[in-house]
Amino acid sequence: MEFLLNNLLSWIIWFPLIGILIILFTDRKHESFIKWISLITIVIDTILSIYLLVNFDFSKTGFQFVEKKRWIEFINSYYFLGVDGISILFIPLSTLTTLLCILISWDSIKELVKEFYLALLFTNIAMVGTFCALDLVIFYLFWEAILIPMYLIIGIWGGPRRIYSTIKFFLYTFFGSVFMLIGIIYLYIKFGTFDYTILINQKYPFLVESLLFLGFAIAFAIKVPMWPVHTWLPDAHTEAPTAGSVILAGILIKLGAYGFIRFALPMFPQAALYFSKLMLVLSVIAIIYAGLVCLVEEDLKRLIAYSSVSHMGFVTLGIFSFNPIAMKGAILQMINHGIVTGALFMCVGIVYDRTHSRAISYYGGLATSMPVYAAFFMIFTLASIGLPGTNGFIGEFLILLGTYLSNKTMVVFGALGVIVGAAYMLWLYQRVFFQELNPNVAKMPPLKINELAALILPTILVFWIGLYPNLFLNFMTTSVQNLLMNLK
């Protein structure tokens, strides 16, 4: 176990590479073999990431499981990995999300199966790598590398307008990240290093710091997505296949918020404080605007996509109120949102596979034809609203509580968003599951074993975090306090 612990992060990141190589040299006729290989790879990877959680030391403030090897000495760039309380929870979340994606697309992906699982495993590598990277070049490499598989996943296996959506998604995020690239290079020219731990201790003139912050913020805000730059998300989410939506909702948009917490805030604290008002206003606009859009959406998937924008508004609200409680709430809410919205997308995917319709009016009375499914959907709906006892409550409550301590006006609007959220989700549930039984959905095949498995896992987490969040909050306590202490 010693060799494993020394390079645990590298193991978790690169382990799917074994699966990729096996699949690459497998004939495409053996589809079930390919599926099983990718499933086994990801299960082992998930176990490894849980092993990482178990070995994490709560009380330390700094980075753990650090690996630092020479990579490009020429530009002083290192293969530098490490996790702290902020990033640790996202690693099991990433592997778990990929696992769910494999389960949910077991039967629904019928063409180009080999490429699909290759893309999924590649996504897993890039996602976990992004959360572990502490060298800015490595971070950027992983950050951009995600675009390749996501471009393919949305574009090949997506819905009718997939090509428009995928190119929009790609160019939008690529556009954002090049500003970050300029910022990264500028930092290197100034300080001669890409090392995150050195860069957070630097002082800049305010103007430079603001420009750098804005450069990073554009990249992260597009990924989150914050209000004016959110337009790629509904298209991409809607047209992506179920697995693509789950990855987008579960991990990809978390990367933006994670980037804010990890890079933009500690590296440019003055600028972050200066722009925090603006960010708070944008977050509140996102919460309310997206919530109102949800009320009029006719498309099941698009509705949940917009609800993502609203929920991520809460996350950025929590981040930019600079309060330890709100910050912890924001990180927890990111994880909650990954679980709940991912699960909701899976739910939509399950009925979409059976009916090939996403229009809300197509459904109705589904609770009579698919009772078990309706129960699961109910759980995730309530979690999404933030009912006490579910994880959504803990996250939103902490964010609102923390924000109240630092900025009272914003909380009023934020809380309004909660009400709107309850309205559109419950109304959605009513229109889809109750009312008269729509003949379209009178005869529906029951849930398959893989779908059931994919739904049970998030259900457990919903209640676990909802009823005993302490375990998850413990991970981040020291790191968040440390982060905010450095900020002030």
Binding site for other proteins (CB under 8 A): 28, 71-75, 111-112, 114-115, 137, 140-142, 144-145, 147-148, 151-152, 155-156, 162-163, 166-167, 170-171, 174-175, 178, 181-182, 185-186, 188-189
Beta carbon nearer to other proteins, 174 or 362: 174
CA distances from 59 to 6, 220, 468 (A): 19, 29, 19
Minimum distance from residue 189 beta carbon to other proteins (Å): 5
Beta carbon nearer to other proteins, 171 or 375: 171
Beta carbon nearer to other proteins, 268 or 377: 268
Minimum distance from residue 113 beta carbon to other proteins (Å): 11
Beta carbon nearer to other proteins, 186 or 434: 186
Beta carbon nearer to other proteins, 141 or 452: 141
Minimum distance from residue 477 beta carbon to other proteins (Å): 34
Minimum distance from residue 192 beta carbon to other proteins (Å): 11
Hey, what are 366's tokens? 């589904």
Minimum distance from residue 168 beta carbon to other proteins (Å): 11
Beta carbon nearer to other proteins, 76 or 276: 76
CA distances from 120 to 55, 94, 343 (A): 27, 11, 17
Beta carbon nearer to other proteins, 29 or 408: 29
Minimum distance from residue 151 beta carbon to other proteins (Å): 7
Minimum distance from residue 17 beta carbon to other proteins (Å): 11
